[in-house]
Chain A
Amino acid sequence: AQKITQTQPGMFVQEKEAVTLDCTYDTSDQSYGLFWYKQPSSGEMIFLIYQGSYDEQNATEGRYSLNFQKARKSANLVISASQLGDSAMYFCAMRAYNNNDMRFGAGTRLTVKP
């Protein structure tokens, strides 16, 4: 079974600066997808960005980009120009295509300081 590790329980960043949230994963599957979700205090899970294991380019979605290093099995989320509304829990998740399971890491709480 796949395992997702997020080693940063909490992170602080100054408004307008960039921040990197770490995610490493462990899987024996060759085909998989990596996802990042944001969970504000209201509780909903908001999809941010996706990276496929065979994608050669790092994924980008607006202010979000994914630093994908396949050999190191890491998929770090980079948020540029942080905003106060970015304060939330951030979860890294992985789905193996052979069984369609989707598993999450423990999350990182990001706090953006004004």
Chain B
Amino acid sequence: EAGVAQSPRYKIIEKRQSVAFWCNPISGHATLYWYQQILGQGPKLLIQFQNNGVVDDSQLPKDRFSAERLKGVDSTLKIQPAKLEDSAVYLCASRLGPGQIMNTEAFFGQGTRLTVV
């Protein structure tokens, strides 16, 4: 079974530039999460999708971050314009959604390491 795919693995941009990350979840997984993990910290939930609808984006800085999950499969996370403090690893995770098996874990991609200079 293929895992969660993310690209690119690494990205370096200058502040005020824009950047986009892509995630392809495990086939059949209805729930998709984007996390921001700053070095030395735990993952911080940015947004949760259920199929193509947003369930929770309360911690997403909406003035600069946006995310979409068209057709309920792939997802993109965009930052525009980037700030120095956005330097982090952006993790995508997926799992079976509510109504499916309740105790399944989330599966994570390898992450995208963003450096803003």
Contacts and interface: CB of A to CB of B under 8 A. Distances in A.
Interface residues of B, number: 28
Interface in B99-117: 102-103, 105-108, 110-111, 113
B50 A45 contact: no
B111 A104 contact: no
B110 A100 contact: no
A102 B107 contact: no
Interface string B73-99: 000000000000000010101010110
Contacts of A95: 106
Given A45-B93, A45-B108, A103 B48 contact: no
Contacts of A37: 108
A97 B108 contact: no
A102 B89 contact: no
A100 B93 contact: no
A42 to B, nearest CB: 9
B20 interface: no
Chain B at the A interface: SS class: strand
B57 to A, nearest CB: 11
B33 interface: yes
A4 B43 CA distance: 12
B12 interface: no
Interface string B38-55: 000111110010100001
B31 A100 contact: yes
Interface in B22-41: 31, 33, 35, 41
Given A45-B91, A91-B42, A106-B42, A101 B56 contact: yes
13 contacts: A1-B58, A6-B42, A43-B111, A45-B108, A52-B103, A91-B42, A100-B97, A100-B98, A101-B55, A101-B56, A102-B45, A106-B41, A106-B42
